[in-house]
Structure 1
Amino acid sequence: MSGTSVLTKENVKRKNTKVDFQESDINVLIESASQVIAPLWPISTFAARNPWMGFEKKSFDQVAGWLKDTRDVDIYPSASMIHSAKRKGEIDEAFVKMGLQRWLDTHSFNIPRDVAERFCHASLKLDPLPSNLLTSLKLKKVADEFSGLNMDRIGNYSMQPISSRLKNQDGERVVDILDYHVIKWCKLYLDDSQAGWTMPNREQGFYRAWQSLIQYDPALSKKQRKSLKSWSQEPHMALKEVLFALKIPESEIQAYLEGHLLSLPGWAGMMLWRSQQSGQGHALLTEYLAVRLSLEWALVQPSLPISGQRSEKEVSITSLLAAWIHWGDFTIEEWSQLSAAEQTEYLSFAYRFDEKLRRKLWLEAWEQTHANQLSQKLIAKQPKTKDKQSVLAQLAFCIDVRSEPFRRQLEKEGPFETIGIAGFFGVPIATSELGSNHSHPSLPVMQKPQNRIKEIASKNELNSYQQRRQAANSLSYTFKAMKQNILANLFLPEISGPWLSLQMVSRSFVPRKADRFIHNLRETWLRKPNTKLMLNHVHSTKTEIAVGFSEEEKVNYARQALKMMGLTKNFAPLVVLCGHGSQSTNNPYASALDCGACGGAAGGFNARVLATLCNLPEVRQELSSSGIEIPRDTVFIAAEHNTTVDELHWIYVPELSEAAQEAFDRIEAIMPKVSHNANAERLAQLPNFQSKHKNPKAEAHRFAEDWSEIRPEWGLARNADFIIGQRELTQDCDLEGRSFLHNYDWRQDESGDLLANIIAGPGTVTEWINLQYYASTVAPHYYGSGNKATQTVTAGIGVMQGNASDLLAGLPWQSVMQSDKEAYHSPLRLLIVIQAPKEYVVRLLNNDSAFREKVQNGWVRLASVDPEGHWENW
């Protein structure tokens, strides 16, 4: 999988086993090796993360095999998940049989077809081989006598770290000791103001800061510290020295680095993200590897040299023979009567039709069943075309799957049209709230903000507000400083004890009242004034990006967003742009429940920016000249959909026209019922929801405000498809909150540019979200983050299990599991459905090679619905 080293004869001089390369060579190697991990953002800005983003040029099945061979990680659903889905009616076994026949038809084998089919059908039941059969002495004797098949060296190989093959005197694996040391140094260096004392010499970089302190580390022996004392000052030179000392062959260097990156993919992923943020390439990742391999050298030096650099996959003849006896209805006597050549063919077939392939067939059948059920929902009904003239209000929501049930309930209550668009509304901004000197990117993480938008108020109001805010922040800072001060923390319990005790008791027994009281107290104290947005461009040399928009940018962003929504004519009197966020207490994963399209932030700020732009007379005038005529009495307003309690909160409501006011009042009147129905539908899916509570709204608020609640909402669990088309295609369909919905009208996209932009932007976001949920479900021990109740927030950047684990990159157990034994999320790869003529899809695939690779390699699935309503799988 890793391939051969990217070093060529031109930049590498072979001198026996000596490694002779320059800094540029190691940079190329590390960049290639880093494809096996993914960047990890801090948990405060938790963003959906595709753990396999560097692998998309390989097929999903190739990566599955490589991960199983190198890390013993399964990324196909387990047998128990498959059996559960089958019981729920989520898998049609007819598709399993069809998949099996396709596999048999496309593979050659020299055994009777009926025998092969019987073996495959029996093994597809996914029951384990009986333990008494596998331990049978008679079976082992027959297997040991067999010598006709050379399979002891079959499989993919990887260059595992030398430390993973050694144990110390106490029987502890050396790689575990190495991981412990690396975690300790990563926590010190990456700490984001959580520790009272920062790491000395941190400003010199990770490697040099580590080198200046390692000689004093009491966790290492005197001999180990001495061996590192004279180590090179330059990280790339240190790597060169280590690779030479460990005698790593040049052709294996990249694979060796990959093995080290995969040992702690969370901490390595954070180093990769920081490297990318710094704009210095992979410099920090280079330093990380220099520290890790230097520590490995110190730990393994006494055991060198060791034999067997490769870790190899051995095939058990016993298990293959047991498979034929259990699933092929063979007896040992019948087996013994086969010729050696026949036995070889049978064992080869069992080896090829292994457990991974069996679960792959089940996954594909699961996905095909879902696609079939979805197609029946979408094309079985006659679409209802809503009279655009009678629409009272148009409400644009984020494509987030949690918007779908809310939109459906809203449309039931009146003449309202809902629209789907990515939650950053096409404005690539960094937001700066009132009184803050910092900004937060509010757009998909694969993009960079182009403009910074500040919230402003009058000078007197701003000064007063900043003083109150500074007082509140100073109180928090003082409390933290006292906790970390040797003397002051002796008095802290007496000072803070009564207040904190009262807070703990009230939050535990009356969480709603306590949360409301604390919130109201803070709001009353801060008294944030009414604000405006600084939309006009301000020249500044202090910021990397422009503050405000140019006049041309205002028009372009408004035009592009309206086109993405398909809202270029037939405007209702009121257009509501609805960002979304969440609400929870004592939850490190709070930002994971916010808008994935906004980089782990709420989308209300973006909605307010776009609504303000669309209300500007000069913007409307320019839009009119390009064919987008917004009626004078149409008003854009902004709101935020709180997904935890399914409520709309108004964040920008300018002066309304008479018709817009009528629409606004109508929305306010129906919102309690919409919220009630949406909450009732959503809460019924939560395992800890008590049906005896007759008020879903009250229960939803309890989930949001209870600091002991580990599952305030399901988030985007069970997401399965991304539907790109007109609302009429999905209207009145109960999509069960599993579908991302993006408006698209192919008739307004003759060039195909709109579709291409949707696939490149929202399409990538939804794929990342889908694969993060998928990975956290099928391999929670490697890609998830464990139980929330036992997590530790570390260094202010992420979570660990205990105090010395990898930095956990995925979703917690409570986000994907119904119980300890039952998954809630269905691990299906994203199905993208495009409503457009076939030639539009063909053009998209021809023009977008990256998307074509994702489809061909099985990272996403693709289907289309043509204008006549015909469904086609691609």
Structure 2
Amino acid sequence: MEGTSVLTKETKQHIDNDAQDLLAIVEAASRVIAPLSPISSFAARNPWAGLEQQSFEQVADWLKDTRAVDIYPSPSMIHSAKEKGEIDEAFVELALQRWLEQHTFSIPSDVIKRYSDRALQLKPLPTNVVSKEELAKWMTTYTGANLYGLGNVFAQPIATHITNKKGEKLVKLLDNQVIKWCKLYLDENQAGWTMPNREKGFYLAWKHLISRDPALSKKQRGMLKELPDEPQQALEQALTRLGIEQAEIQTYLEGHLLSLPGWAGMMLWQSEQSNNEKMLLTEYLAIRIVLEATFVSPYLPLREVPSKQQDMMANLLASLIHWGGLTLEQWSQMEDVEQDAYLVFAYCFDDNVRRKLWLEAWEQTHAERLSQQMLANQDKFDDKEATLAQLAFCIDVRSEPFRRHLEKEGPFETIGIAGFFGLPIATRELGSNYTHPSLPVTSKPQHTIMELAGDDELGKFRQRKQTVNAFTNTFKKMKQNVLSSLLLPELSGPWLSAHMLTRSFTPRSANRWMSNLLNKWEKKPSTKLSLDHEHHASTNVSVGFSKEEKVSYVRQSLKLMGLTDKFAPLVVICGHGSHSTNNPYSAALECGACGGAAGGFNARVLATLCNLPEVREALALEGIDIPEETIFVAAEHKTTVDELEWVYVPELSEAAQVAYDRIESVMPAVSHNTNQERLSRLPNFQSECKNPKEEAYRFASDWSEIRPEWGLARNAAFIIGRRELTEACDLEGRAFLHHYDYHKDEDGALLANIIEGPATVSQMINLQYYASTVAPHYYGSGSKATQTVTAGLGVMQGNASDLLPGLPWQSVMQSDDEAYHSPIRLLIVIQAPNEHIERLLNNDRSFRAKVDNGWVRLASIDEQGIWKNW
């Protein structure tokens, strides 16, 4: 029965204020997680983007304290890198000296030297250095400092510290409940039955069902019957029941968000997509903490949480004896003050610090070798044949080998630019009812560009496409229906068996046959693009561009490419895309920033705009004079097979036709050489293979292939400068290459644009790969072989894990024991005078914080060719 509110006006105002305060706290707490988009639109995310005002070292210590998550490379990774020659040990010594200069310790220098040298070998301490009896005897007499108090202690969910009578951790039961409800609510049409009352929001839909959940006891269900309708109130009540003080709420919420960062990240992403769900993260926390309060209520008030002090002291004493060369007799004869001094040193020079020094040495070794390679090749291209064609590629690291092999085959100039080409667009392919953002996920589209065809052709094409979709949907519904699912194997068994056999034993032929069959059936007609601005009721953004916008986007793109004069007869705008079969992570192999969007559509849009007479006339008035014989075309670099597919070739001038024919003639050699180089790095590539192209197609078509390509693994540097700086360098597909000429950027606006956009996106990619390598159980997604696609959103390990936020094991590991990706932080190299770099750092505080706090590394090469680390 509904009651009448007896709250006074003042009381209501107080509750409203508290609710607003709580929402602000939830928003502040969300900094510890990253938004997680559905796997179908997978985009690289920096898992620590909200924490960059703290140093990398501080965040590493905090995560190890609160979640037992290590984000420094493991000792085995470091030893492997050292054995492969990727770490110069001289830099480890330099890093150690820098660290010691920043600290003051009142113990003998020979002890520090001996301890640090031995500890830096990264070998585990023996378990029997100090016996339990000896430790207990010392601890009863020790009255020195409580060293654990020096640590960065963050609260964890109370359920973490409680075990029920069955020996089950309450936090595990809590996680399982939360996972179950998240799967139900977020399901993207994968389940046959949807969650009742889903349209009312997560909290109210859950509230309607939770009191009937048979997984809970009768008493627990009774406790959950009288919950308020507002999630903020429910959250506030649960925090009060748990005894969380106002000053502790944010820290406590952070602990809960970090318990399941994947599901929490998906809630955060969903809340950012629609105003209707902007409260979703608050609803998630309300459900989670209400359930926690229900589970732990019989155990409250909680007894004192066991201290880590004794275990830590034992470890410190053992390290001083084993690495410091002390004996128990020497130790027992010291005064407490002297023991404190030794313990403080051992405490400060902990495992994180030791691996931090190795990481810095690894990064310094890479930077040193890169600088030597680049500076040694600066003056090798004085006499060049006249450029026949200019090709603009995405900065993606997979473009670097392709560009290098292409340049060797003729007088071609290649240019690096972000692969959405500065076009803030969403795209809609012919016959589709859906648009797809085709730009980095950090931005929102401002225009929709659609493929268009004649009404008669479009109608027939849509009918054929709808037939295919209807067949697919019918098959899916029959699988999910109780009765029809019993009949389906009898109907589809023979066809599916044949499909399985051909897919397994002749994957390329089967894939080609299926593709040809689909293409012949659909018969997609020739299309044009909706480039002219018009109002369209079916989209939330404008369709097409105004004349001013066309000119503006072309101008900006040409400036970013440094292509404002000396145009070749043919300019090729090259997007990139990937192809793989039976791969949940296929979107991750497309553009690393654009949520699974390939770049061919954007390339076609830009090339078409560049050919428009009105655009050229307007640019000519500004001093950007594109010759009449220069024609822009568009292509897509297929990264899995290293081929160039033409997506837009208008009528060519005579000179442009010569250039086009030359590219076509050298493309087989470029593809062969690039495939040979790229495939040789894959662990399951047969080195004696005579035809790399055939093998590349097999990798792309085989539905059992867990590693169709490496993607952006081993990315390590973002180089901003003229191509001459890197043209003679074999960068091994590890560098993002963005064109930049500081002579044409007097006010630094272009450089600021590159840092804010492409460099930030490259950092996101770098840290996603880094996190998935060093902490695969927390920030990665484990082995593909044991993954379960769930709710149409992402993958889990088994049927009740976190929604896994990162890359699979096979995307970063060479084998079970050896990493392929080198987990080092991105090195940004800018070719510009020092004063330009100083101006950039002074104007961009966010970028300065990233550099100062160790989230990226920064170096520059000035006009004299002098390298500087910032």
Q: Do the structures match in fold with TM over 0.5?
A: yes
Among 391, 401, 423, the alignment partner of 2:419 is 423
Distance in 2 (alpha carbons) for counterparts of 1:144 and 1:692: 68
SS at 1:769 equivalent: helix
Matched residue type, 2:838: V
Residues 157 and 310 in structure 1, CA contact (< 8 A), matched pair in contact too: no
Distance in 2 (alpha carbons) for counterparts of 1:152 and 1:461: 73
**Kindly tell me: are residues 597 and 259 of structure 1, through their superposed partners in 2, closer, same or farther at Cα, counting changes over 3 Å?**
closer
Residues 201 and 277 in structure 2, CA contact (< 8 A), matched pair in contact too: no
1:169 Cα deviation (Å)? Answer: 1.8
Are 2:577 and 1:581 equivalent residues in the alignment? yes
Give a deviation string over 1:572-592, Cα, whole Å, max 9, x none: 111111100111000000000
1:327 Cα deviation (Å)? Answer: 1.1
Partner of 2:367: 371
SS at 1:229 equivalent: coil
SS at 2:829 equivalent: strand
Partner of 1:760: 756
SS at 2:128 equivalent: helix
Matched residue type, 1:343: Q
Are 2:76 and 1:73 equivalent residues in the alignment? no
Among 100, 111, 123, the alignment partner of 1:127 is 123
Among 649, 669, 674, the alignment partner of 2:670 is 674
SS at 1:132 equivalent: coil
Are 2:211 and 1:207 equivalent residues in the alignment? no
Distance in 2 (alpha carbons) for counterparts of 1:204 and 1:365: 54
Distance in 1 (alpha carbons) for counterparts of 2:822 and 2:678: 17
Among 337, 350, 357, the alignment partner of 2:333 is 337
Partner of 1:470: 466
Matched residue type, 2:869: N
Are 2:540 and 1:544 equivalent residues in the alignment? yes
Matched residue type, 2:629: D
Aligned pairs for 1:758-797 (under 5 A) are: 758-797=754-793
Distance in 2 (alpha carbons) for counterparts of 1:538 and 1:196: 40
SS at 1:741 equivalent: strand
Among 34, 41, 51, the alignment partner of 1:38 is 34
Partner of 2:260: 264
Distance in 2 (alpha carbons) for counterparts of 1:241 and 1:132: 49
1:144 Cα deviation (Å)? Answer: 5.0
**Kindly tell me: are residues 310 and 329 of structure 1, through their superposed partners in 2, closer, same or farther at Cα, counting changes over 3 Å?**
closer
Residues 640 and 696 in structure 2, CA contact (< 8 A), matched pair in contact too: yes
Partner of 1:742: 738
Are 2:180 and 1:184 equivalent residues in the alignment? yes
1:19 Cα deviation (Å)? Answer: 9.8
Give a deviation string over 1:570-623, Cα, whole Å, max 9, x none: 111111111001110000000000012423210110000000000001001111
Matched residue type, 1:511: P
Among 393, 398, 401, the alignment partner of 2:394 is 398
1:145 Cα deviation (Å)? Answer: 3.8
Give a deviation string over 1:452-506, Cα, whole Å, max 9, x none: 0000011111000000000000000110111111221121111111111110111
1:732 Cα deviation (Å)? Answer: 1.4
Residues 147 and 309 in structure 2, CA contact (< 8 A), matched pair in contact too: no
1:336 Cα deviation (Å)? Answer: 2.8
Distance in 1 (alpha carbons) for counterparts of 2:419 and 2:130: 54
Distance in 2 (alpha carbons) for counterparts of 1:788 and 1:440: 26
Are 2:807 and 1:819 equivalent residues in the alignment? no
Partner of 1:325: 321
Calculate percent identity across the aligned residue pairs. 66
Residues 161 and 305 in structure 2, CA contact (< 8 A), matched pair in contact too: no
Normalising by structure 1, report the TM-score. 0.96
Residues 453 and 527 in structure 2, CA contact (< 8 A), matched pair in contact too: yes
Matched residue type, 1:780: P
1:230 Cα deviation (Å)? Answer: 1.0
Partner of 1:8: none
Partner of 2:833: 837
Residues 389 and 572 in structure 1, CA contact (< 8 A), matched pair in contact too: no
Aligned pairs for 1:144-183 (under 5 A) are: 145-183=141-179
**Kindly tell me: are residues 97 and 825 of structure 1, through their superposed partners in 2, closer, same or farther at Cα, counting changes over 3 Å?**
same
Equivalent pairs, count:
859
**Kindly tell me: are residues 20 and 433 of structure 1, through their superposed partners in 2, closer, same or farther at Cα, counting changes over 3 Å?**
closer
Residues 146 and 309 in structure 2, CA contact (< 8 A), matched pair in contact too: no
Distance in 2 (alpha carbons) for counterparts of 1:448 and 1:555: 20
**Kindly tell me: are residues 488 and 313 of structure 1, through their superposed partners in 2, closer, same or farther at Cα, counting changes over 3 Å?**
farther
Distance in 2 (alpha carbons) for counterparts of 1:520 and 1:741: 36
Residues 151 and 314 in structure 1, CA contact (< 8 A), matched pair in contact too: no
Distance in 1 (alpha carbons) for counterparts of 2:719 and 2:15: 52
Among 226, 230, 236, the alignment partner of 2:226 is 230
Among 584, 594, 598, the alignment partner of 2:594 is 598
1:280 Cα deviation (Å)? Answer: 5.7
Distance in 1 (alpha carbons) for counterparts of 2:808 and 2:793: 16
Where do 5+ consecutive residues of structure 1 fail to align?
A: 1-11
Partner of 1:568: 564
Among 83, 86, 90, the alignment partner of 1:90 is 86
1:542 Cα deviation (Å)? Answer: 4.0
1:266 Cα deviation (Å)? Answer: 0.3
**Kindly tell me: are residues 487 and 256 of structure 1, through their superposed partners in 2, closer, same or farther at Cα, counting changes over 3 Å?**
same
1:312 Cα deviation (Å)? Answer: 6.3
Matched residue type, 1:408: R
1:114 Cα deviation (Å)? Answer: 2.6
1:139 Cα deviation (Å)? Answer: 5.6
Partner of 2:3: none
1:701 Cα deviation (Å)? Answer: 0.7
Matched residue type, 1:67: L
SS at 2:778 equivalent: helix
Distance in 2 (alpha carbons) for counterparts of 1:597 and 1:162: 37
Are 2:653 and 1:657 equivalent residues in the alignment? yes
Among 345, 353, 378, the alignment partner of 1:357 is 353
SS at 2:584 equivalent: coil
Partner of 1:115: 111
**Kindly tell me: are residues 371 and 60 of structure 1, through their superposed partners in 2, closer, same or farther at Cα, counting changes over 3 Å?**
same
RMSD in angstroms over aligned alpha carbons? 1.7
Distance in 1 (alpha carbons) for counterparts of 2:53 and 2:508: 50
1:279 Cα deviation (Å)? Answer: 3.2
Among 11, 20, 38, the alignment partner of 1:24 is 20
Distance in 1 (alpha carbons) for counterparts of 2:22 and 2:307: 24
SS at 2:26 equivalent: helix
SS at 1:780 equivalent: coil
Distance in 2 (alpha carbons) for counterparts of 1:19 and 1:688: 62
Normalising by structure 2, report the TM-score. 0.97
Matched residue type, 2:835: E
1:310 Cα deviation (Å)? Answer: 9.5
SS at 1:420 equivalent: strand
**Kindly tell me: are residues 389 and 373 of structure 1, through their superposed partners in 2, closer, same or farther at Cα, counting changes over 3 Å?**
closer
Give a deviation string over 1:626-678, Cα, whole Å, max 9, x none: 11111101111111001111011011111111111111111111111100000
SS at 2:500 equivalent: helix
Moved more, 214-223 or 356-365: 214-223
Among 847, 854, 858, the alignment partner of 2:843 is 847
1:815 Cα deviation (Å)? Answer: 0.4
Are 2:503 and 1:507 equivalent residues in the alignment? yes
SS at 1:782 equivalent: coil
Partner of 1:255: 251
**Kindly tell me: are residues 833 and 403 of structure 1, through their superposed partners in 2, closer, same or farther at Cα, counting changes over 3 Å?**
same
Distance in 2 (alpha carbons) for counterparts of 1:149 and 1:247: 29
Matched residue type, 2:361: A
Are 2:807 and 1:800 equivalent residues in the alignment? no
Aligned pairs for 1:719-730 (under 5 A) are: 719-730=715-726
**Kindly tell me: are residues 538 and 311 of structure 1, through their superposed partners in 2, closer, same or farther at Cα, counting changes over 3 Å?**
farther
SS at 1:54 equivalent: helix
1:545 Cα deviation (Å)? Answer: 0.7
Residues 139 and 332 in structure 1, CA contact (< 8 A), matched pair in contact too: no
Matched residue type, 1:277: Q
Distance in 2 (alpha carbons) for counterparts of 1:648 and 1:219: 55
Are 2:461 and 1:447 equivalent residues in the alignment? no
1:417 Cα deviation (Å)? Answer: 0.4
Give a deviation string over 1:843-864, Cα, whole Å, max 9, x none: 0000001000000000000000
